């Protein structure tokens, strides 16, 4: 709607590219955020206030080949989740373009889309319908999903009776069951108990190995260094560095430490205890 930026540029897509973004930008219009009431937006129309906008992402160019695993890191509010939402097709770019080659499955926030009143089984069927899967396909996948989630008799109980770990497990097995070409994961490696964490790690590694592209948002730097073959550091909606995971992670750690030191110095200058001012 607010696409007044540069038009779509020329695409240079290689054969093996799963994801190509060019000059990608996503702009939020803060007039309509959750807290805005009709009164305020009316006042703004009447008073002709300039619209408040901000770029959650800007000038992001990323290329990801099939078989690659990209770790997206950065501080809170850097635009990591927005990037995943654009890649999943949930948001449209405000400027630039996104090209996706293959089926996408997203696990953005685990289990947030479940209907609390329905059972696990019904949620799987409903979820399949939301994803646009054929009913026959969903029903074929059903036993595998139930088995992998390992939630026993709870599969026929309403989701509201589930523990958060069970919810996460069910969400994970739904998203990975559809055998996507491109898997988008947002902070999923830290959910569930230790056993399931190992299991999900193994599954993600398996997916990466079987020539699937994975984009993973995480704060777990060890995972990025160990299992991703590329990493990108986002800050304030812009790419700071893209490259080998260890380099990107090192830069992120350095910058975080520098930011912290600067904040502490400022607090010390103001005469506050740095331990409080964190």
Partner 1 sequence: MFEQARHGVSREVSGTAGPLTMLREAIGEALSRRRLVRYLVAADMKKRGSDTLLGNLWWILDPLLQMTVYVIFVTIISNRKQIDYPLFIFAAILPWKWYQAVVTDACSAVVSQAGLIRQIAFPKIVLPIAVTTANTVGFVWGLIPLFGLMLFYVDRITPMLLWIPVIAAVQYVFSIASAIFFAAANVFFRDLGNVVGHALRLWWFLSPGLYAIDHLDQDVGFVRDHHWVQVVANLNPFAVLFTAYRNVIYGGSDGLTPPLPPDLLSLAILLVVSVGLIGLATIVFKRAEPEFAKVL
Binding residues for partner 1 (CB under 8 A): 1, 3, 5, 7-8, 11, 25-26, 28-29, 32-34, 36-39, 41, 85-86, 88-104, 106, 108-109, 112-115, 117-118, 122, 125-127, 129-132, 135
Which CB atom, from 99 or from 264, has the smaller least distance to partner 1?
99
Cα angle value 210/212/214 (rounded, 5°): 130
Specify the residue, 161 or 222, whose C-beta has the smaller distance to partner 1. Answer: 161
Measured from the CB atom, the residue of 95 and 227 that comes closer to partner 1 is 95
Question: What is the closest distance, in whole angstroms, from the C-beta atom of residue 40 to partner 1 in the complex?
Answer: 10
Looking at residue 3, the DSSP 8-state letter turns out to be: -
* Residue 96 CB, nearest approach to partner 1 (Å): 6
Check if the beta carbon of residue 111 is closer than 8 Å to that of residue 151: no
Q: How far is the CB of 223 from partner 1 (least distance, A)?
A: 22
Greatest pairwise CA separation for the chain in angstroms: 67
Closest approach, Cβ 79 to partner 1, in A, equals 12
Q: What letter does residue 158 receive in the DSSP assignment? A: B
3-state secondary structure of 254: helix
- Going from the C-alpha of 20 to that of each of 16, 23, 100, the distances in angstroms are 11, 10, 7
**Is the CB of 94 or the CB of 200 nearer to partner 1?**
94
Tokens at 172, concatenated: 């994970």
Q: In the complex with partner 1, which residue's Cβ is closer, 100 or 224?
A: 100
Min dist CB 99 to partner 1, Å, is 5
* Least distance from partner 1 to the Cβ atom of residue 68, Å: 18
CB 168 within 8 A of CB 191: yes
Between 101 and 200, name the residue whose CB sits nearer to partner 1: 101
- Rounded to a whole number of angstroms, the distance between the first and last alpha carbons of the chain is 39
Distance of alpha carbon 252 from alpha carbon 222, whole angstroms: 13
Ramachandran area for residue 233 (φ above 0: left; ψ -120 to 50: alpha; else beta): beta
CB of 205 to partner 1, least distance (A): 23
Two structure tokens written together for 229? 């073959």
Nearer to partner 1, 49 or 263 (CB): 49
* Whole-angstrom distance, CA of residue 2 vs CA of residue 95: 8
- Sole residue written with tokens 């430490």: 257
């Amino acid at each position: 709607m607010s696409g007044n930026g540069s038009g779509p540029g020329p695409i240079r897509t290689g054969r093996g590219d799963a994801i190509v973004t060019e000059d990608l930008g996503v702009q939020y219009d803060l007039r309509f955020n959750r807290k805005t009431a009709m009164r305020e937006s009316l006042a703004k129309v009447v008073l002709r206030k300039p619209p408040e906008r901000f770029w959650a992402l800007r000038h992001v160019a990323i290329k990801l080949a099939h078989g690659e695993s990209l770790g997206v890191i950065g501080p809170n509010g850097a635009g990591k989740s927005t990037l995943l939402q654009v890649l999943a097709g949930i948001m449209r770019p405000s400027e630039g373009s996104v090209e996706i080659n293959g089926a996408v499955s997203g696990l953005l926030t685990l289990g947030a889309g479940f209907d609390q009143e329905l059972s696990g089984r019904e949620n799987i069927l409903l979820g399949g319908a939301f994803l646009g899967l054929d009913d026959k396909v969903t029903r074929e996948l059903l036993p595998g999903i139930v088995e992998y989630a390992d939630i026993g008799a709870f599969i026929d109980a309403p989701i509201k009776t589930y523990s958060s770990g069970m919810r996460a497990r069910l969400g994970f097995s739904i998203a990975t069951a559809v055998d996507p070409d491109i898997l988008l994961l947002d902070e999923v490696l830290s959910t569930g108990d230790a056993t399931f964490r190992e299991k999900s790690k193994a599954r993600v590694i398996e997916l990466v190995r079987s020539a699937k592209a994975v984009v993973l948002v995480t704060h777990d730097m060890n995972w990025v260094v160990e299992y991703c073959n590329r990493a990108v550091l986002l800050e304030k909606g812009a790419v700071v560095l893209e490259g080998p995971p260890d380099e990107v992670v090192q830069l992120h750690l350095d910058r975080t430490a520098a930011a912290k030191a600067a904040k502490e110095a400022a607090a010390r200058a103001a005469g506050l205890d740095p331990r409080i001012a964190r």
